[in-house]
Amino acid sequence: MAPKVPSVRLNNGLEMPVLGLGTYMATEEEGVSAVKMAIDEGYRHIDTAYFYQNENQVGQAVRAKIAEGIIKREDVFIVTKVWNTFHAPEHVAEACQKSLDNLGLEYIDLYLIHWPMGWKFCGWTPDDLLKMNADGKSIDSDVDYLDTWKAMETLVKEGKVKSIGVSNFNSEQLTRLLANCEIKPVTNQVECNPGINQRKLIEFCRKHDIVITAYSPLGRPNLEDPVVGTAGIPKHALDDPRVIAIGKKYSKSPGQVVLRYLIELGTLPIPKSSKLERIRQNIDIFDFKLTEEDIKVMDGFNTGGRTVPFNFSSEHKYFPFKLDY
């Protein structure tokens, strides 16, 4: 019997499952099979993005499971994101429509601004999404994310998306957005794992009734990422003897301990996997709780080190990581 994943009530009254499947770098057949397996194992929250180039696969898997009668459309919470090159208001609606067409769905449950920085629009193909200048830096635009947000609010009013949120925003950017929005963001999706546990940002967001979705919750073990690079990544908690010992106590793996820790911090982790055993393990975290002592051990890994530093866009005026949180 697949575990039942609890949900959290968002600030607009809608429900979002507290654990999801991440799909970054899950392409082609791998993407389809991972999402199908995840749905069979009880996942009801799937995270994708235009930039990942796998919305087609996610949609194909979801539609197949609807056709099989395993789920109804309203049972599954689909998240996708508007990419940095589509921040100009005139591109936002088109970007959303392209995502809807890719997914083959009538609406998106949650649409996020992927990063606060807007980049120059170069086109819609995969090669157009990450154009760099001669110095290997992003080609920036001066689009204000507040204008992007206004265009996102229109999508809610049109019924194309149910909820809107942000990703990789810092507390100052959120404060500015909250002061200038009609519809509040329901979530801020950020890197969150024992190495960067985001306690300050979680607390800030809690005060404003915004949930934190945790990407790279396991600290990206084994990942070769051509986009952000993987040099200088902090050592993660997964192979630490103390975490292994905590896991033994509950008959859980170190990965399950880490995901449980993030749940107890109040975040919504979205671990990525395409292996059935791992997909199964990652959702099997709702039958135990960590003690205060366990939490102290897990807190000890926090260095603030990022596995997704995104330094090639660090000269952008809206680059978010110049602040502590």
Catalytic annotation, residues: 52
Residues in the chain, how many?
A: 325
Residue owning tokens 């600030």: 11
- Other Cβ atoms closer than 10 A to 109: 20
* 216 vs 292: CA distance, rounded Å: 24
Give the number of other CB atoms < 10 A from CB of residue 121: 20
Residue 208 in marked binding region: no
Widest pairwise Cα distance in the chain: 54
Nearest CA to 268 out of 201, 213, 219, 186 is that of 213
Look at residue 140 and give its three-state secondary structure: strand
In terms of phi and psi (left: phi > 0; alpha: psi -120 to 50; beta: otherwise), the region of 41 is: alpha
- Residue 214 CB contacts under 8 Å (≥ 6 apart), including other chains: 189, 190, 191, 192, 193, 198, 262, 267, 268, 269, 270
Binding residue positions: 114
Q: Which residues are annotated as a binding site for substrate?
A: 114
